Structures are given as C-alpha cells and as structure tokens.
Structure 1
Amino acid sequence: MARQRLVPNAVAYNAMVKAFAKHDRKKALDFLGEMNLRGLSASPDTYHSLFLALWQAGDAHAVVALFFSMRTVNAVPKVESFPIVVASCIAVADVKKALSIFSGMKQVGAAPDRGIYVSLIQGCSSTGDIDTAAKLLDEMNAVGLEPTVSTYGYVIDACGRYPSFHNLQRALALHQEMKRFGIPLNTAVYNTLLASCVKNQETEKAIRFFEEMKTLRIPRDLGTFISVIGACAKSVDSNRAIAYYHEMKPSGVQCVRSTYHTILSVCAKNGNYVKATEILSDMKKSQLSPDAQSFAFTMDACAKGKDVHKALEVFQEMKQRGLSPTSGAYTALIEAFSKTGYSYDAIKIYDEMKQIGISPNAFTFSALIEACARVGEIGRAFSVFEEMKQSNVAGNASAFTSLIDACAKRGEMEKAIVVLEHMKEKSIALSTRIYTSVINACTKAGDSEKAFGMLDEMCSFGIPPNVKTFTSVITACSHTGDVAKARKVLYHLKSCGVRPNIFTFNALLGVCISSRTQRKELFLETMKEMKMNKVKANTFILVSLNELLRLDAGLRYEFGETAKDVLGAFRIDIGEPSAAEMAGLRRKKEWGP
C-alpha cells in the first residue's frame, strides 16, 4: 500500500490490529495509535481482540490502560470485553476502578454475567469491603445468576479475616442462606466459618459447626481440626481439645507440631499435667519428635498442676535428648518449685539458669519474685526486681502483687511504694488488690497519712476501693487515734455502696480505744452501723469492747460493765464462736460467766 501511495483506511487498520494482536501485541498497539492520530475509529471487535491478547499474556495493567484510553476517543467496548477489563482491575488490586466500570456497564444497558459478579465479589472481599461484596451477592441472586459455593466462600472468608461481631453474624446468615438455597456446603466453607468463630472467640459456635460437619459427613481436614482445637484453647478447655485431637487419626488427618503445641499450651493453662504428658508421649511415637518448646509446655503444665517431681522428670528427659532447656523450661521449673513451697530450690534453679547464659524473661523474673516473696525473702526479691529493671523487662502484675503483699506483711511501706511507682511507670494495670496491699504496708508501718494518700490516689485513677481497702485505712487511723479521719473513711465507704464487715467494725473500735477525744461519738456510730448492717459480734469485737470499757468509765457507767452488756443495750447479736475462737476464749475467758 505504501509503494502504491495508498492510504490505509479504517477497515485495513482494524484488520492489521487484529492480525498482529495474536503474535505481536506491541505492533498491534502501534497500529492502534496510528489510527487514533489519523482520526480513524477502531471497531469494538478490534479492541476486544487486543483486550483478549493482553489478558492472555498476563498484562492486566495494559488491559486497564487500554480501556481508559478508549474514553479519550469516545470508543465503546463490546459487552464481552467488560469481564476481561473488570478481572484486570481486580488483578491489579484496583477494586474501585472495577466497580466504576461495572456501574458504567449497567448504565449502557449491558447485563453483567456471572464472571463479572464473581470477580467483583472476590475483589471486594479481598480488600475487606464486605458490605459491597454482600450487596453484589444479593444482586446476583436477584438477577437469577445463582452464586456458587466458592462465591459465598469469598464473602464468608472475608468475614473471618476481618473479625467483628457484625461480620460473624453476616457469615452465619450467609451459611443459613446457602442451606436455604440448596447450595452444597463443603470443607472450605466450614473451615472459614470455624476460623471466623475462633477469631471472634465464639467457641460454642465453632464446636457446633464442627459437629454439623460430622452429621453432614463433610470431610474434615487439618484446617478444620486446627480451628476447633484452637477454639477450645481460647476457652482454656483442655478436655475438649484433647477429645478432638483423638478424632484426628480416625479421620485420616495427621497432627502437626503446631497443633500438638496448642494442646500442650491449653493443658499448661489448666494445670492438666497428666494429659500434657500423654500428648508428649504421643509426639515421641509420631514422626514429629518433641522439641524444646514441647517439653517447656509440658513442664509448665506440671508447674500449674503443682507436681514438681514430674516437672523435674520432664526437665531431665529434655536434657538427656540433647535439647537445650529454654528460658520457658527454666521458668516452668522455678514456678513448680515456688508453688509447692520449695522456694529456695527455685532460687537455685534461677542461679543455674544464669550460669549457663540463658537470659530470664518477664515470666522468669515474675516466678522468682513470687518464690522469694512466699518465704519472706524480701531482700532477695528486691535484688531480682532491680535486676529485672536493669534488663528493661516490664514484668507482670502477678509478680508485683506478690512483692507488694510480702512488703505489706513486714510493714515495708517504702519498698511497696517503690514497686507501685515502677508499675505506674511501665503502665502495668493497677488494681484494687494492689492498692489495698500498699495501704496495708502503710498501715503496718503506722503511717496513716500515706494510707490516706494512697486511698485518694486510687480513687483519682478510678480504681474502686473495697471493704478490705477501707478497713485497712481505718486500722491506720487506730495508730494515731484519729477519730475524725476514721469517720471520714466510714462516710466514704458508705457513699461508695460498700458494706462494712466485722473487721471494719473492729478497726473502728480500735480507733476508739486509741483516741482520747470524740471517742463516744465514734463508738455510738459504730454500734449503730453494726445494728443496721445486722452484723453479729465475734471474739474480736468482744475483746475490743472489753478493752474500751476498761479505759472509759463513762461508757461503763452508761452501757454496762461487760461487752455483753453493751451488745445487749444496742440489741446486737453474738455469733457462735469458731473452734479456734473457743480455744482462745477458754484461755482468756473473754465471754464471762
């Protein structure tokens, strides 16, 4: 044509583009560019040939670019081209463009086919746009394009990958819809439902789906068992986890190491060391030899179950197999010794651990602090505490609570406050129990001002005091006989809706005994509150009342010579003494004739 000086027309160009599209896409695109420069229009068939060739070559980006270039020359694609373009947008992760093309397609009256809907649903599901995916699924049903099991699976899978209560409910509704429409359910759908339940911590629903699979004879694979055992682990149900583990072999499913470890970890949380050792034995018989983590989990179960001898046995076997004990294994052994009263042995294990160069972690430090605190080794516990701080390890609330409790028993107020300040610095959750222990330490140290300060601080943090907290602060007031503060605490207690107990009233009487002023006012208020709360007097109340009467002739004159006289005057009952109280009373004769 060039030699004859003939100018190609649209028909010739269209033919050339189609011809080259099959084997030389670059040349075909060049011809298309020439057509546009010459103002010639490519036919919808020509564009479709290029779309098809580019898609088959895996060049999704070129498909999308070509489609949007059509708009600049006002070209209209064939209906058959839309599925390729939509699929290409999904392939390049541009779901927004795919939805825009889908909308434009409907506006020109082109009916989307099943392939377009499936591509869009898959794309929206993969990006977490579950609302749009579900809407498209409904639209498919409305136009008579029945979704397949895999189409439903895309949306259900997305609900599992983006866990929330709303998405779980949507997944459950889709499952019911599939059953209603008679769409055959398969293993993949049930696995996604199970995984969704596990992520949303819906253990019972996960188990229900697992049992439904058995009823419907739907094959269960490794993923099925991993999910249902994982659900049991989240609810710390070792018995059910083991029961499902025993179903794996008859179902032709081989257990993997991660599943063994899941079961061992839940046994550890339950302290079910008998089952843990059985699972460890099964691992030995299988092709999967237990590793250091397997032994550590088993030892942890022994520690939680307070069987130190079994923990030692597992530890020795671990070393005999040539496995280097991990920090987790040493921590479990330290915890086992600590929980069974062998705190000094726990300290020895810790020293051994450091000697062989294994760095302790937060759990190790916590277990050792608890071990030292149990035997009153406050100095050693604080040495570990300082070492933990130097290692920049945060520790946990359990260890610090044990340390503060130990400080409280010895009246080590300053040390208790140091631990509390460290917890605040590391943003470790503070609790009523922790503050109550610190207040106990202040009380034992006789520092009522500090006790009051701690009460104010915990309230300012929104941590609610309980009856033990208030009673401890009142006891602190008894050291100084500060009636005004004791009454203030009693008012605070009542305003918080906390009911005083027998120890609270005994602490109030202790303040009366220590006080030289306003004694009678607090005494009358204490008796009135005892009567109102229907609290029966016990040995401690009798002892305190008798001491108060001994000190105050005015009260003796007004209410009687003995504790029984006072209680009778206020119509407060006396409870039956316990065996321990009776033994003490026989010695001290506090009950009188």
Structure 2
Amino acid sequence: MRMPRKLDDVKTVRLQGGKPSLKQCTTAISTCGRARMSDSALELLEEMRKDGPAPDAFCCNCVLKACSSLKQQLRVFEGMKNKGPSPDVATYGALITTLGHEERWEHCLEMMQEMDSQRLESNVILYGAAISACEKAAQWPSAVALLQQQRSEHLESSLICCSAAMTACARGSEWALSLSLLSTTRAAGLQVDVIMLSSGISACAQGTEWQGCLALLRDMSSEELCPNQIAYNAAADGLSRCNQWILTLEILREMRQCNLWPDAGTISSAVKSCGLAAEWQHALMAFQQIPEDQLDIVAFHSAVGACEQAGQWEAAVQLLQELRLGRLVADAQILSSALSVAARSGAWDIALALLGFGPVDAAVRNAAISACAQGSRWHVALSLLPSDYVGYCAAISACGATAAWRAAVVVLEDMLLQEMEVDSVAYNALMTSLEGSREWAIGLQLLEQMLASHLRPEEVALAAVLGRLLRHRQVADLPRLLTHLEEEGARRVTSLRGQKRVFARPC
C-alpha cells in the first residue's frame, strides 16, 4: 500500500535531521486512520514518545480512531495511563463505543466507573453507548441503573438511551419495567418515536400482553407516526404468542395494505397460533405467504405442528414432501410430529415410511414404535430398539396388540438389564399382553413384582391376571394377593373375592 503523503512528509523531516511539529504528526496519524493503516499510526505514536514531539490527548485519540481492533485501542489506552497524556472524555468515549460493539458490557461499566474516579464528566453519548452495550447483552439491571445514574447527574435523557434500556428490559422478560420506562420518558416531555414504541410492543409481546401490543400500535397512528415493519412484526408476534390468531392475521393483512411484508419468523408465529386453535387451514394459508427464499425449518416446524394439532396427517406428509423439494432436511422434531399424527390417525404404514425423511432420534423412534403398535407390527417395533423408557413401553404395547407376550417379556428383561427404573406403565402393558394366553404363572409373577415394588396395577391389567388365574383354577395364591391388594388400596377387591369364593367351591 502506498504511504500517505502526510506520513511521508513526517518521515522526510526526520530523515533530514529535523523534528516534525505536533500538528504535522497528528495530521499524519489521522491520514493513516482514513487509509486504514493502523500499524503505521501506532508506529508513529511510538516514535513521538521516543523522539518527540510529545503527543497530547487529541493526538492519542486520533490514534485510537485509527486502530482497527479493540486490542490495539487498549494498547494505546494503557500507554496513555502509563506514559501520558492522561485519558480524557473522548478517550473513554471511543473505548466505550468499541466495547459496546463488541458486546463487552462489563468493561463498559468499568470504564464508566473509572471516569467517575478520575472526575471526568460523562455525557449523553457515553451513556448511550454503555446502555446500548447492556441492551445487546440483555443486561437490563445495568441498563436501568445507567439510565437512572444519567438522570441523577441531570443529563438530558435521549431517546436512544431510553429506547436501549427499554429493549434490554424486554429481552430480559421485564416487560412491565420496559413499559414503565416508556411512561417515564413521556412524562419527561420527550416525544417518543417509532423505535421506542416498537420496543414497548416487543416488551408486551414478551409479557403476553396482547392488548398492550394493539394499544401501542394504535398509539403510533394517533401520534402521526407511521408503524414500520419492526412494529408490525412485534405486534403480530405478541398476538400470536397469546393465541390471538384472528387478530394476528388482521395485522398481517394490514401490513400488506401498507406495502410492508412480515418476516418469516412472524408468519411462523401466526402459523403456530392458528395451529394451537386447531385452525389448520388458516395456518397453511399463512404458511403459503412466506416467500420461497425465506422458507426455513422454523416455518415448517410451525406448519407441521398445526397439522399435528388438528390430526391432519395428509397435510403433514405433504409439507414434508415440500420440505424435501426445497432442499431442506427435516429435523427430528418435524419428523416426530408427522409420525405421531399419522400413527394416531391409523395411517401406521405411512408413519413408518416417513422414517427415511430425516434423522432418527429417541422421539422419532418412539413415535415409530407407537405406530407399530397401531399396525400390529411388533417385529418392526423390536427392530427399532434400543430406545428410551417411553420407546420400550411402546414396544411392549406393540407386542401386546398381537398377543406376542414372549417378545414383550424379552423387552421387559432388556429394560431390567439396562437398569431402567421400570414403573407401572411397563408392567401393566405386559400383563395386558398376556390376555388370551395360558401363561398364568408369568402374569402372577409380574403382579407380585409390581406389588413388591409398591406399584399400583391398572384395573384392566389386574382383571386380566386374576381372571386368568380363576379360569385355570389357580386359586392357592389368591388370598395372599387379595390381602396385599387391599393394603395397596386396589379397587374391586370385594367383587374379586366373591369370584374367588365361587371358584373355590368344591366340585
């Protein structure tokens, strides 16, 4: 890179045995900054410290502005503290601004405290930079504290400071405090702008205060402010969070009338809201409004979730196919939703076919195993093991649906070998799977294991085991079992005792 002329002039003066003036050096440093030659600016500063002229605070601040990184700025700052001149307000301002961009809010606060210890007067710009740094990190307590400190120093509050503090509160889910700051700003006589009202709308959205979202959006019109895309998106998001799907769709329609387009995230929220209200047709209509180049996995999450809520497995499968055509990969959550709704609707074969559409995790595997139970495909269910506890119970249920009790017993044994904490769900499913078999001894053993573990058998499972014992006239263990069941508070003991007396009569 060609050397700037002003810097070349300084070097020429030194080569000729002369001493450049402070003004010449400062101008050369500023030129280096405009040319993005931070290393040359730092090098010239070191030459000045060594051979003169001694740099003043303005010259060092010019070097700070020329620096291309925070590391270089801190190097200049430490040099000023150790070798002089002392940092001034502009020095701290430059550093705080850079620290704010780097989201290093703790260091911003340290710089503000250091200024106070040096008895340097802060200004609105410094406070704005520090509060903005806290806002980016969602550090609302520090942002509010700085705003209060600014007011205590009788510095005029700016919309930038108030808006940044409001946004920090909203990001920290302190929506009530954010709205309080908005009221305080208005009371101070400041004319709020679209940015501040948008921050208030976002705060209401965080606090699920959908009435507040609408009120602030209408305030913009009453104060002759034109709502922008950010304000509309925030309002629509807040309404959808509160499941106000009708109002959400009205906001989206109003945006289009103002030639504004909602972003994909806002439409996804609207889709989700419609889905929770079982309005899957409206959900899909909103989904279709997302531009093709903005379609992402989040939007498909919302659309497939809406179909799952309404039990519309055909629409869910269609969305998975569209996702594939868009060259997006279905994640486990979407796949699990589609599998679940297909299985619940009896389309177990379709559910199993969806396994090839994306990655398979525990939730997807469990949904597939449940589909196997619906379709009496216990062999396929076992092939999907190992799984977690839910999956193993679903596999036992799949075996029970086809009276494949031997396979169910193997699954239970596998659970015990893996030291899973087996509860009543697995035992009840297995005892029910024994219905119709002659294996009264296994049913009795399972029931005794449950009672020993202080687990309560379901009435269906209990009736299946005791009924099997009675049918095969295995009544020797009934008194002990019934006594234990009475102690556990099992139901229908009295009627079962009556059945026992009937079968116990001598022929």
After TM superposition, the score normalised by the length of structure 2 is 0.75
Aligned residue number for residue 135 of structure 2: 233
Aligned residue number for residue 123 of structure 1: 31
CA contact (8 A) 2:403 2:433 kept: no
CA separation of 1:514 and 1:95: change in aligned 2, threshold 3 A: farther
Query: What amino acid sits opposite 1:153 in the alignment?
Result: N
Counterpart mapping for 1:38-187 below 5 A: 94-95=2-3, 117-143=25-51, 146-159=54-67, 162=68, 167-187=69-89
Which SS does the other structure have where 2:315 is aligned? helix
CA separation of 1:108 and 1:238: change in aligned 2, threshold 3 A: same
Aligned residue number for residue 215 of structure 1: 117
Which SS does the other structure have where 1:95 is aligned? coil
CA contact (8 A) 1:536 1:575 kept: no
Aligned residue number for residue 391 of structure 2: 504
2-structure distance, mates of 1:245, 1:266 = 12
CA separation of 1:254 and 1:414: change in aligned 2, threshold 3 A: farther
Shift of 1:374: 1.4
CA separation of 1:348 and 1:125: change in aligned 2, threshold 3 A: closer
CA contact (8 A) 1:478 1:514 kept: yes
Unaligned runs of 5+ in 2: 458-488, 498-507
Aligned residue number for residue 408 of structure 1: 308
1-structure distance, mates of 2:9, 2:212 = 67
1-structure distance, mates of 2:249, 2:428 = 43
Shift of 1:307: 2.0
Counterpart mapping for 1:283-298 below 5 A: 283-298=185-200
CA contact (8 A) 1:448 1:479 kept: no
CA contact (8 A) 2:128 2:161 kept: yes
**Structure 2 counterpart of 1:265, from 167, 174, 179:** 167
Which SS does the other structure have where 1:535 is aligned? coil
Aligned residue number for residue 78 of structure 1: none
CA contact (8 A) 1:451 1:476 kept: no
Shift of 1:587: 7.2
Shift of 1:228: 0.8
Counterpart mapping for 1:5-20 below 5 A: none
CA separation of 1:406 and 1:192: change in aligned 2, threshold 3 A: same
Counterpart mapping for 1:325-404 below 5 A: 325-348=227-250, 350=252, 353=254, 357=258, 359-362=260-263, 363-389=265-291, 394=294, 398-404=298-304
Which SS does the other structure have where 2:431 is aligned? helix
Aligned residues: 460
Query: What amino acid sits opposite 1:476 in the alignment?
Result: A
1-structure distance, mates of 2:181, 2:230 = 18
1-structure distance, mates of 2:355, 2:321 = 17
Shift of 1:287: 4.9
Aligned residue number for residue 278 of structure 1: 180
2-structure distance, mates of 1:234, 1:407 = 36
Aligned residue number for residue 473 of structure 1: 368
CA deviation string 1:212-262 (max 9, x = no partner): 222222121222111111111101133332222222233343333333333
CA contact (8 A) 2:232 2:255 kept: no
1-structure distance, mates of 2:198, 2:205 = 10
Which SS does the other structure have where 1:524 is aligned? helix
**Structure 2 counterpart of 1:453, from 356, 370, 388:** 356
1:549 and 2:434 correspond = yes
CA contact (8 A) 2:20 2:53 kept: no
CA contact (8 A) 1:264 1:279 kept: yes
Which SS does the other structure have where 2:290 is aligned? helix
CA contact (8 A) 2:104 2:133 kept: yes
Shift of 1:178: 2.1
1:299 and 2:201 correspond = yes
CA separation of 1:346 and 1:174: change in aligned 2, threshold 3 A: same
After TM superposition, the score normalised by the length of structure 1 is 0.65
State the percentage of identical aligned residues.
18
Shift of 1:505: 2.0
2-structure distance, mates of 1:137, 1:489 = 69
2-structure distance, mates of 1:132, 1:552 = 90
CA separation of 1:104 and 1:358: change in aligned 2, threshold 3 A: closer
2-structure distance, mates of 1:106, 1:553 = 107
Task: Answer 1 or 2: higher relative contact order, Cα 8 Å, separation at least 6.
Answer: 2
Pairwise CA RMSD: 4.0
CA contact (8 A) 1:537 1:575 kept: no
Q: Which has the larger radius of gyration?
A: 1
